[in-house]
Structure 1
């Protein structure tokens, strides 16, 4: 990354796009190999199990939190440059959007990032659901759903002084939380006999988030062009990438425009190297409508909440943004409620079938 920043062969806009692609490659490869998935972790947790999927999620979250807080502590990242801390945010959007996103990822069998990763493994269900997520996200950003999202987000707005949790916590709290999450993840991984490679690649996903923050912050300090400081997120960048492909003849370089294809390429590389590519489509037992409804809920919910399970939950959470932590908690609650209701509906359906 240092060589990329110092290179004169690329413009600053080219560097930001290439940096996003590199971070995406790392994220995609590690996410595919670790099977990182918030939905799976939620199902385990609300099912009363502290299992391997929860261990993987905690390893990702803890590593991202630890790496990002270390950057903030040593001056590698300035809180004033972080949008999730330095601008106003919506707690109403975080709560309602997070709940809807949590329900949606249960119905679609994966969050926005997981659908993108699965798309590269030959899963056509994930590809189609992911495309619907991006269309719904764009409609929520500037289309037919935008008035509803804007009205929701205006209900409870908080300023930067409230949004930055670090201002209200003792120094070092973020680092301590990161260490605690990593330690708990390690204990759960050991208890559930999670493979070392799985744990290591889960940590790689979290480090990719920290690398995104470090790269964009460093480039913003040396660039002659405005650079938005940020890291891994999917709802907005996926919509931007899709619109760039089908609407605009020219692509405006950005970190997100490089990130999305980078994640796909990283997941595809992991799938091919480990011979895990397998075509999967919809069938009679899949529930196509369920996928599509879930995708729409995620697209709208992610935009209202300020990000997806990774963008708000991990990336926003790693800088101790209040709205991100509220959105993440709401996603867990929404997923738990949806999982419980879906399980009961399926049990009733099985009983009715048995009685016929």
Structure 2
């Protein structure tokens, strides 16, 4: 029912885009998905980052940058699928991924449990489960995995041949508003709108929704982060969802390399924007 061709591996675009996207994550205060749901919670800084991200993603897909995008894809290798590169079945790689995941999960569960402050129980039944009770991270991960699996048949049934995705649907909203072409309204657009409204409902139900304005420095940084995320995700062929979640499960070089450089970009921005200045400030205070 579902067929997929991994195609070539655009290594240069993946490396550059993944690294830039990682830097943008830190500057915007979260990745593309986080920006959508934090906007639904009332964070105005996330609204700014989201607007810049959507606009940049749409511009990157415009005819004005077609030559740039085409040039980036020329730096590629023939095989993108990891199993095809080694001439093996994908199942040994799936088994390895399962074993590594189980080992990491086992290590995490052995750690000392931290006491996390929870909202006082004011509701009962389903309302308490949805709006007050803290979910275990692994339970949430399983639900996300199920959603990512269901996204394939549900999206394909509507004529969109892909799974979960954030960047392209975000760009599609701007493209529709500018050009008014119904072809841009697809399953992915309703997905990202659902994230926004779902976050709004959850925040309202738990009493945590409120409009929170950011200061001028955070606003400018969020805007710049949104631009970097829009550029990086488009150049890398996907964001932390399309690449980091969906395509990694499809065992392609593009996304595992892209994910590594996203992590490197996050580390770089975190170090130079927050960790290093804080250390210098601490050392300066200690010397005084």
Cα contact 1:153–1:304 (8 A) shared by 2: no
CA distance, structure 2, for counterparts of residue 135 and residue 259 of structure 1:
18
What SS does the aligned partner of 1:158 have? coil
What pairs with 1:118-133 in structure 2 (closer than 5 Å)? 118-133=38-53
Tell whether 2:162 aligns with 1:205.
no
CA distance, structure 2, for counterparts of residue 145 and residue 163 of structure 1:
24
CA distance, structure 2, for counterparts of residue 235 and residue 215 of structure 1:
18
Cα contact 2:52–2:224 (8 A) shared by 1: no
Answer with 257-266 or 110-119: which moved more: 257-266
Superposition CA RMSD, Å: 2.7
Tell whether 2:237 aligns with 1:298.
no
CA distance, structure 1, for counterparts of residue 193 and residue 237 of structure 2:
21
Q: 1:184 to 1:314 in 2, by over 3 A?
A: same
Tell whether 2:55 aligns with 1:135.
yes
CA distance, structure 2, for counterparts of residue 189 and residue 247 of structure 1:
51
The structure with more radius of gyration: 2
What SS does the aligned partner of 1:157 have? coil
Cα contact 2:169–2:189 (8 A) shared by 1: yes
Q: 1:82: which partner in 2?
A: 4
> What TM-score does the superposition give when structure 2 sets the normalisation length?
0.81
Give the CA deviation at 1:242: 2.3
Q: 2:258: which partner in 1?
A: 327
CA distance, structure 2, for counterparts of residue 289 and residue 353 of structure 1:
28
Q: 1:106: which partner in 2?
A: 26
Give the CA deviation at 1:349: 5.5
Give the CA deviation at 1:252: 4.3
Q: 1:196 to 1:281 in 2, by over 3 A?
A: closer
Q: 1:252 to 1:97 in 2, by over 3 A?
A: closer
Decide which of 182, 187, 204 is 1:255's aligned counterpart. Answer: 187
Cα contact 1:93–1:153 (8 A) shared by 2: yes
Q: 2:77: which partner in 1?
A: 158
> What TM-score does the superposition give when structure 1 sets the normalisation length?
0.67
CA distance, structure 1, for counterparts of residue 149 and residue 103 of structure 2:
18
Q: 1:290 to 1:270 in 2, by over 3 A?
A: same
Q: 1:143 to 1:345 in 2, by over 3 A?
A: farther
Structure 1 unmatched runs, 5+ = 1-76, 221-226
Cα contact 2:173–2:185 (8 A) shared by 1: no
Q: 2:213: which partner in 1?
A: 281
Q: 1:341 to 1:192 in 2, by over 3 A?
A: farther
Count of residues paired in the alignment = 265
Q: Which has the higher contact order (CA 8 A, sep 6+)?
A: 2
Give the CA deviation at 1:182: 4.8
Decide which of 104, 126, 142 is 1:184's aligned counterpart. Answer: 104
Cα contact 1:95–1:327 (8 A) shared by 2: yes
Give the CA deviation at 1:102: 0.6
CA distance, structure 1, for counterparts of residue 214 and residue 285 of structure 2:
22
Give the CA deviation at 1:149: 3.6
Superposed CA deviations along residues 34-91 of structure 1, whole A, max 9, x for unmatched, are xxxxxxxxxxxxxxxxxxxxxxxxxxxxxxxxxxxxxxxxxxx64xx225x1x33411
What SS does the aligned partner of 1:122 have? coil
Give the CA deviation at 1:122: 0.6
